Structure 1
Amino acid sequence: METKNYHEDLSHIRSMMERSSRFISLSGLSGVVAGLTALIGAGYVYFVLKREGISYFDGDRNIYQPELVRELVIIGALILFVALLSGYIFTANKSRKKGLKIWDATTKRLLITFVVPLITGGIFCLALLFHHLFVWIAPATLIFYGLALVSAERYTLTDVKYLGYCQIVLGLVSLFFLGWGLLFWAIGFGVLHIVYGSIMHKKYK
Structure 2
Amino acid sequence: MNQKEQLDTLNDIRNIMNRSSKFISLSGLSGVFAGLTALVGAYFAHEALKGYANRAYGYGVDADLYIEFELLKIGGLVLVVALAGGVFFTYRQSRKKKLPIWDNTARNLLLNLAIPLVSGGIFVIALLFNHDNAGGLIAPTTLIFYGLALINASKYTYSDIRFLGICEIVLGLISMFNTGLGLYFWAFGFGVLHIFYGSIMYFKYEKGTGK
Structure-2-length-normalised TM-score: 0.90
Letter of the structure 1 residue corresponding to residue 115 of structure 2:
V
Identity in percent: 55
Residue pairs, 1:1-205, within 5 angstroms: 1-54=1-54, 65-131=64-130, 132=132, 133-205=134-206
Letter of the structure 2 residue corresponding to residue 156 of structure 1:
T
Give ranges in structure 1 of 5+ residues lacking alignment. 56-63
Query: Could you give the per-residue CA deviations for residues 165-200 of structure 1, whole angstroms, max 9, x where no partner exists?
Result: 000000000000112211110000001001111111
Letter of the structure 1 residue corresponding to residue 82 of structure 2:
A
Classify the secondary structure of the residue corresponding to 2:149. Answer: helix
Classify the secondary structure of the residue corresponding to 1:100. Answer: coil
Give ranges in structure 2 of 5+ residues lacking alignment. 56-62, 207-211
User: Quick one: distance in 1 between partners of 2:174 and 2:65?
Assistant: 25
Query: Could you give the per-residue CA deviations for residues 17-55 of structure 1, whole angstroms, max 9, x where no partner exists?
Result: 011000011111111110010001111111112222349
User: Quick one: distance in 1 between partners of 2:161 and 2:82?
Assistant: 16
Q: Describe the shift of the 1:74–1:21 C-alpha distance in structure 2 as closer, same or farther (beyond 3 A).
A: same
In structure 1, the residue matched to 2:59 is none
Structure-1-length-normalised TM-score: 0.92
Q: Describe the shift of the 1:68–1:148 C-alpha distance in structure 2 as closer, same or farther (beyond 3 A).
A: same
Classify the secondary structure of the residue corresponding to 1:25. Answer: coil
1:39–1:186 Cα contact (<8 Å) kept: yes
Classify the secondary structure of the residue corresponding to 2:120. Answer: helix
1:69–1:134 Cα contact (<8 Å) kept: no
User: Quick one: distance in 2 between partners of 1:137 and 1:54?
Assistant: 22
Letter of the structure 1 residue corresponding to residue 20 of structure 2:
S
User: Quick one: distance in 2 between partners of 1:53 and 1:124?
Assistant: 26
Letter of the structure 2 residue corresponding to residue 191 of structure 1:
V
User: Quick one: distance in 2 between partners of 1:54 and 1:90?
Assistant: 40
Residue 3 of structure 1 deviates from its aligned partner by 2.7
Residue 9 of structure 1 deviates from its aligned partner by 1.2
User: Quick one: distance in 2 between partners of 1:197 and 1:54?
Assistant: 37
Q: Describe the shift of the 1:199–1:126 C-alpha distance in structure 2 as closer, same or farther (beyond 3 A).
A: same
Residue 127 of structure 1 deviates from its aligned partner by 0.4
Residue 66 of structure 1 deviates from its aligned partner by 3.8
